């Protein structure tokens, strides 16, 4: 039942860096993307076309997209919350765009300033135009396991937004634990609702690791046959509208676990650890990744 291959979307350049208070130079963002693709990542979430007043760190979105040296075998995605965002994104030639809604009303209001129903109305023309331009559209469902404002979120609430996203013909459904409170059985219950409406190859998990549950939750998804996950190199990130939420599960930790399970990812763990060390040095702190830190320490020991 456990898949033999897993696809990892590194969302570090977007979900990771969006939350940084200190400005990160465009050149460093570009180098991070280059290092990720050199490490074997074939899907990279590069930036977001949101309001620079809301998320100043992503204001250099078009410049980052212009400066990356693209590989034909890598898919570059960007967040587009509305038509304005999509129109700006289109000039930068992404392969894929992401619309992001929420399972909880309160989070929808805080994150994108509208209700769930309004958000889906806003996404409908985004999806239609993206499709017209030949782009794949992923939907992210925030707060699928809990909400920083509302508290508990039920599988029925998850299915409600999944169904609405299906109704506007998004191609992919990403189930996101924005604040990292999900535990394996609850994650499976949420995933079941996504799988009622989307084929398994178009369902993914996006787990922030705030409570240390992300790897267990990924394993729970693997048990269901789900084989696409977002992760963030060096465990970067958080959401500016979910205070206290820490980064996504570190890509290094996910790859280490998958390697141990004999699951192919096409990712070179050593090169990935280097990418994590690079961006952590830029940010002036050690990588959050446990595997990354352990492998760096092991290297130092061997070198001594």
3-state secondary structure of 203: strand
Q: What is the DSSP string of 71-104?
A: -TT-EEEEE--SHHHHHHHHTT--SEEEEEEESS
> Hey, what are 226's tokens?
């789900």
Q: Which of 77, 92, 104, 142 binds ligand HMG (CB under 6 A)?
A: 142
Judged on CB neighbours under 10 Å (0-12, 13-18, 19+), 301 is: exposed
Shortest CB 18 distance to Mg ion, Å: 9
Give 98's strand partners: 79, 138
Rounded distance between C-alpha atoms, residue 126 and residue 101, angstroms? 13
State the DSSP code for 248.
Answer: B
Q: Judge whether 239 counts as a catalytic residue.
A: yes
Binding to ligand HMG (CB under 6 A) within 182-221 occurs at 206, 208
Shortest CB 245 distance to Mg ion, Å: 8
Nearer to Mg ion, 15 or 159 (CB): 15
Q: Which residues bind Mg ion (CB under 5 A)?
A: 15
Q: How many CB atoms neighbour CB 124 within 10 A? A: 16
Q: Which of 51, 63, 160, 259 binds ligand HMG (CB under 6 A)?
A: 51
Shortest CB 248 distance to Mg ion, Å: 6
How far does the chain reach from its first CA to its final CA, in angstroms? 43
Which residue in the shown chain puts its C-beta closest to ligand HMG?
Answer: 85
Q: Which of 10, 15, 157, 159 binds ligand HMG (CB under 6 A)?
A: 15
Binding to ligand HMG (CB under 6 A) within 96-125 occurs at 100, 111-113
Q: Under the rule (CB under 6 A), what is the footprint of ligand HMG? A: 15, 18, 48-51, 54-55, 79, 81-82, 84-85, 100, 111-113, 140, 142, 176, 178, 206, 208, 239-241
């Amino acid at each position: 039942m456990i898949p033999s291959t897993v696809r990892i979307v590194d969302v570090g350049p977007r979900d990771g860096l969006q939350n940084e208070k200190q400005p990160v130079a465009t050149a460093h963002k570009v180098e991070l993307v280059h290092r990720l693709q050199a490490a074997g990542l074939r899907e990279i979430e590069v930036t977001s076309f949101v309001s620079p007043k809301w998320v100043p760190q992503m204001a250099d979105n078009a410049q980052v997209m212009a400066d990356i040296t693209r590989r034909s075998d890598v898919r570059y995605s960007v967040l587009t919350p509305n038509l304005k965002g999509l129109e700006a994104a289109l000039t930068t030639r992404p392969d894929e765009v992401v619309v992001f809604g929420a399972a909880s009303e309160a989070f929808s209001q805080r994150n994108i300033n509208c209700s769930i129903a309004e958000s889906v109305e806003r996404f409908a023309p985004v999806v239609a135009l993206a499709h017209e331009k030949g782009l794949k559209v992923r939907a992210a469902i925030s707060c699928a396991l809990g909400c920083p404002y509302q508290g508990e979120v039920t599988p029925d609430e998850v299915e409600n937004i999944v169904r609405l996203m299906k109704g506007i013909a998004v191609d992919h459904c990403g189930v996101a634990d924005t604040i990292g409170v999900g535990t394996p059985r609850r994650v499976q219950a949420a995933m079941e609702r996504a799988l009622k409406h989307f084929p398994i190859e178009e369902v993914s998990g996006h787990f922030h690791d705030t409570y240390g549950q992300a790897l267990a939750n990924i394993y729970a998804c693997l048990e269901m046959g789900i084989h696409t996950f977002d992760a963030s190199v060096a465990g970067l990130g958080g959401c500016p509208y979910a205070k206290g939420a820490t980064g996504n599960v570190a890509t290094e930790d996910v790859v280490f676990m998958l390697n141990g399970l004999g699951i192919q990812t096409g990712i070179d763990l050593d090169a990935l650890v280097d990418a994590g060390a690079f961006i952590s040095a830029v940010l002036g702190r050690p990588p959050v990744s446990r595997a990354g830190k352990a492998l760096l320490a092991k290297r130092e020991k061997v070198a001594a």
